[in-house]
Amino acid sequence: MIRAFILSLFFGLSAAAADDLADAKVAFTNLITYQKTDDIRALDLFSKHCLITYTVNDGKTEKIAVVPAEAFLEGLKKEIAQKHGSKDEYEDVKFSSDGPKVTVTATIRNPGSDKRSPFFAVYGRDVDDGAMRIEKFKITIFIHEPKQ
């Protein structure tokens, strides 16, 4: 009886992990779509307590900045309002699950330059509604100095 319980628990957890992975893939696909179309729903893809880390590279130095979730979401809202749409392409996208968390790594390529930057996100279930949301987000931003 205990053996049957343990087996059912194992298979139940395996199914939940598969659901987490599938749901994270859908959420990631939505992120890309919303970036390209400047869809305000992109804000809903991030946890209210998301940890956002930017690495800012000016070609000479790199600086790391941790941005509070509220400030990040406000900045994202302003960026979406400008309706520029993203032309970035995601390459070598990989998903891995560790319990209820799903990690996504990729390389972002801007078609207008040869710059490539790493992308890292950890998805987890929101405690309020169970949706997969980004809980950790790391990205590198290249800043170009104006030519004189």
Whether the Cβ atoms of residue 135 and residue 122 lie closer than 8 Å to each other: yes
Select from 95, 92, 90, 144 the least CA-distant residue to 121. Answer: 95
State the DSSP H helix or E strand holding residue 145, giving kind and residue range, or none if neither. Answer: none
Mean pLDDT calculated for residue range 115-134: 93
Q: HSE of 3 in the Cβ direction (CA atoms, 13 Å)? A: 0
Residue 18's pLDDT is: 55
Structure tokens belonging to residue 39: 């869809």
- Average pLDDT over the chain reads 85
Q: Would you report the helix, strand and coil content of the chain in percent, each value rounded to 5?
A: 35, 40, 25
Evaluate if residue 128 carries a pLDDT over 50. yes
Model's pTM, two decimal places? 0.80
Residue-wise pLDDT for 53-94, tens only, equals 999 888 889 899 999 999 999 999 998 999 888 888 999 999
Q: pLDDT for 19-59, tens place per residue?
A: 999 999 999 999 999 999 999 999 999 999 999 999 988 88
